[in-house]
Amino acid sequence: MSNPFSEAANLFHFPPSKSPNLLNPLVLAYIGDAVYEVYIRQYVISGTNHRPNHLHKAATQFVSAKAQSKLLERLMPILTEEEVDIVKRGRNAKSGTTAKNADVLEYRHSTAFECLIGYLYYQQSFERLKVILDFALKEK
């Protein structure tokens, strides 16, 4: 019997309309937010407590602007020059919105992190993306 998750890559087969290098950083952050959210949701569901309130609280520890900002700070020393450039593009993008529970700097860093995730996803740098996503689960 085949593993249903082995075909997961075929589920997401809509490439962006242009090269990831040419996409607006907020577009990269948009998809990066979704990729990171799915990753974290899979992680919390892999645990034993499946009460919806618990799942939401557990996920929020990772996906809030504050948590993502702190994660990006921890990630910076291991990022490549190319990744740092993408982070800077995401950080400097003017979104026109603000986070409910974060200051402006945390929100910008959170957007920068999501931009990096979106970039790696659309570059199909899945091994590197996994390293960075797994890093998010390490000690805070």
Q: Catalytic residue at 103? A: no
Catalytic residue among 33, 85, 103, 134: 33
User: Is residue 47 exposed (0-12), middle (13-18) or buried (19+ Cβ within 10 Å)?
Assistant: exposed
Q: Hey, how many other C-beta atoms are within 10 angstroms of the C-beta on 102?
A: 18
- pLDDT at residue 11, rounded to an integer: 66
pTM over 0.85: yes
What are the per-10-residue average pLDDT scores of the chain (140 residues)?
A: 51 84 95 96 92 91 94 97 97 80 89 97 95 87
- pLDDT at residue 1, rounded to an integer: 46
- pLDDT at residue 139, rounded to an integer: 64
- pLDDT at residue 14, rounded to an integer: 85
Tell me the domains of the chain and their CATH numbers: 22-136 (1.10.1520.10)
Angle at 93 between CA 74 and CA 119, to 5 degrees: 60
